[in-house]
Structure 1
Amino acid sequence: MFDRKLNMDSIFHEKQEGSLCAQHCLNNLLQGEYFTPVDLSSIAHQLDEEERMRMAEGGMASEEYRTFLQQPSGNMDDSGFFSIQVISNALRVWGLELILFNSREYQSLMINPINEKAFICNYKEHWFTIRKLGQQWFNLNSLLTGPELISDTYLALFLAQLQQEGYSIFVIRGNLPECEAEHILGIMRVQQQQRPRLIGEDEAQTSAGMSAALSQTEMVFGVEDEVVDEDEELKKALAISRQDIDVEDEEADLRRAIQLSMQGAVMSNKSSESEMGNVKSGSQAAGSAAGGQKGGQNEALTAEELRKRRQAYFDRQQQQAQPNIPQPDTKSSDGSGSVNTGSEEDQQQKPSQ
């Protein structure tokens, strides 16, 4: 079983380079790299020399001859264009002949185009080949990205369309050289799922596709950048929020610690009301002051300032308590012989007697 794609790939198809369409036309017709620009230039120069010699027969001093020498070559130009005479002479090497398709002589033969072997078409200095390979026809225009399959039914319509557009069509007569595509396509017919495009159209679509892909990529990267920016802003906001929360938590913890410390001092003093009455009142006054500070300006005090204030409070507490401390030989009012000197914290704060 033959691969239909490989069968199409077996067809020689030279694509357009510069203005060398005459070279591409001949090579696509012969299915091989038979001619180069140098070969066709040599044929063109030979034709120019033959024309010059014919003009010289009328006299080298004639006005016609001098005018001919001043005119550029009619068989080739610097762009790579070659005339029908150059193509005809090149094909004559292979024993091939050109016949004008729409001439009265050929049309009178009433030959069905599908019974021919090949056609060469020209319009505004562009040449291309239509050739039968195996039992199928192909448009081998060098401006296409690949060979284009033409059905037998469409061939006559295609040639009529070309004529209407101003093309000159030539029928190829003679035995074309053997080629690989002729052998392969003679065994099996091919099918073409997608017709080739013009080379310029294909490049334009490729460029448009690349531009669209680039634009899409820029849009995607733009969206990603926006998302990244939003994420960064959110992270910064969360970090600032956490810092605020941490500061508030530290201040709240410090206020609670001071309040508990004051409450602890008050509770200790309650156990010795009879001996530390003035301490209790001082303690309550300090507690009231601390309570006022909770919602006031001291919320912003540093830990070191708060520590100093606590120390000052306990120092005042010691000074107020010292005059009421009983002597060791004095008994308490309950007669137990023990002396209640206040809380353990107060004991630690008192200097040794």
Structure 2
Amino acid sequence: MDAIFHEKQEGSLCAQHCLNNLLQGEYFTPVDLSSIAHQLDEEERMRMAEGGMASDDYRTFLQQPSGNMDDSGFFSIQVISNALRVWGLELILFNSREYQSLNINPINEKAFICNYKEHWFTVRKLGQQWFNLNSLLTGPELISDTYLALFLAQLQQEGYSIFVIRGHLPDCEAEQILGIMRVQQQQRPKLIGEEQAQTSAGRLATLSQTEMDFTVQSEVVDDDDELKKALALSRQDIDVEDEEADLRRAIQLSMQGAVLTNASSESSSGPARVDRESDGELRSNNDMLTADELRKRRQAYFDRQQHPLRSTIPSQDSTTAIENSCTEVDQQQQQQKPSL
């Protein structure tokens, strides 16, 4: 199949591709076909001028665009026919009465040119096999002998104009190779647009898969980030709980300090106040307390220093000692008062 010359579609140059695929080589360029088209336009202008250059028909003809070519690269059947005359080839309409009266089997012809809506393509026999050399295909398409008549009938039904090529086609490499061997085609070629669409779809599928993989990876990364954030928050909660616990302990300690302060103030305003209020008398009369009473009072003082919270509740011994001390003081005061 590599030996078969096959020009693929470029712009609207299907007429050029049709001729070159028919002749199996780069025989025509757009410049060559444009020259033929301009020559045809000049011949038509000269014929119109015969009716008078001042006539309305001639003026109208000059204002109209060329019917043999346009800027897109389209060329008319007249251009193709004149290009083939250079090679001694002519076109015969396939469904014309002249040709149909010959009752020729299509497989006995050499080539066909097909046209529909400004698109041209070639169907040609190379060796003993037929090939569809449409420039819109990605490669030559093998057509069996039994399918050729059906293929041409289908084209006619779709609105194609089919022209039979009469004359001797130039020799080519594909004709020589396929003359001694036959080829098989495992997979039919696709249309160029279809192949591009499938390629684009494949790229989109690959891109979608890549985006999906990226999304999955992003989700995994997001999950890891969320896990890290959750761990950080849990640590913050633990820190907050620890701080709250420390705060509670500080409050408790401060409350204990307040209790200690209150206890100290109470202790200073309690039994010690008796010492201050009766400072002059008690201190002068300390020698009058017994050694046992002094021992008990010192013990009560030490107990208050070691157990501050218990200092707010006087022990029974200290209470008894204070009461005894107060009783002795009262007795002494009564003894010292002058009798009335």
- Fold match, TM over 0.5? yes
Deviations 1:199-258 (CA, angstroms, capped at 9, x unpaired): 11221221122112211211111011111221233345456768999999x9xxxxxxxx
TM superposition shift of 1:12: 1.1
Match of 2:221 among 222, 225, 228: 228
**Which residue is equivalent to 1:53?**
46
User: Which residues of 2 match residues 83-232 of structure 1 at below 5 A?
Assistant: 83-232=76-225
TM superposition shift of 1:64: 2.4
Between the aligned residues of both structures, percent identity stands at: 89
TM superposition shift of 1:59: 2.5
**Which residue is equivalent to 2:249?**
297
Deviations 1:18-49 (CA, angstroms, capped at 9, x unpaired): 11110110011111111111100000111111
CA–CA distance in structure 2, aligned partners of residues 229 and 179 of structure 1 = 66
CA–CA distance in structure 2, aligned partners of residues 199 and 30 of structure 1 = 22
TM superposition shift of 1:186: 1.7
CA–CA distance in structure 2, aligned partners of residues 182 and 102 of structure 1 = 27
Moved more, 115-124 or 63-72: 63-72
Structure 1 vs Structure 2 CA RMSD: 2.8
Deviations 1:134-153 (CA, angstroms, capped at 9, x unpaired): 11111111111111111111
CA–CA distance in structure 1, aligned partners of residues 190 and 58 of structure 2 = 47
Match of 1:10 among 3, 23, 41: 3
Deviations 1:50-88 (CA, angstroms, capped at 9, x unpaired): 111222222223332222222221111111111111000
Deviations 1:72-105 (CA, angstroms, capped at 9, x unpaired): 2111111111111100000010111111110101
The amino acid of 1:193's aligned partner reads: Q
- Return the TM-score normalized by structure 1: 0.66
CA–CA distance in structure 2, aligned partners of residues 239 and 63 of structure 1 = 93
TM superposition shift of 1:183: 1.6
Give 3-state SS (helix, strand or coil) of 2:87's partner. Answer: coil
User: Greater helix percent: which structure?
Assistant: 2
The amino acid of 1:174's aligned partner reads: G
The amino acid of 2:61's aligned partner reads: F
Give 3-state SS (helix, strand or coil) of 1:9's partner. Answer: coil
Which of 1 and 2 has greater Rg? 2
Deviations 1:311-343 (CA, angstroms, capped at 9, x unpaired): xxxxx9xx99xxxxxxxxxxxxxxxxxxxxxxx
Check if 1:77 corresponds to 2:77: no
TM superposition shift of 1:108: 0.8
Gap runs ≥5 in structure 2: 243-247, 254-301, 307-340
Check if 1:23 corresponds to 2:16: yes
Gap runs ≥5 in structure 1: 1-7, 251-295, 302-315, 321-353
The amino acid of 2:47's aligned partner reads: R
CA–CA distance in structure 2, aligned partners of residues 236 and 124 of structure 1 = 67
CA–CA distance in structure 2, aligned partners of residues 244 and 165 of structure 1 = 79
The amino acid of 1:147's aligned partner reads: P
The amino acid of 1:189's aligned partner reads: R
Deviations 1:114-161 (CA, angstroms, capped at 9, x unpaired): 111100001111110001111111111111111111111110001001
CA–CA distance in structure 1, aligned partners of residues 152 and 128 of structure 2 = 18
- Return the TM-score normalized by structure 2: 0.68
Give 3-state SS (helix, strand or coil) of 2:122's partner. Answer: strand
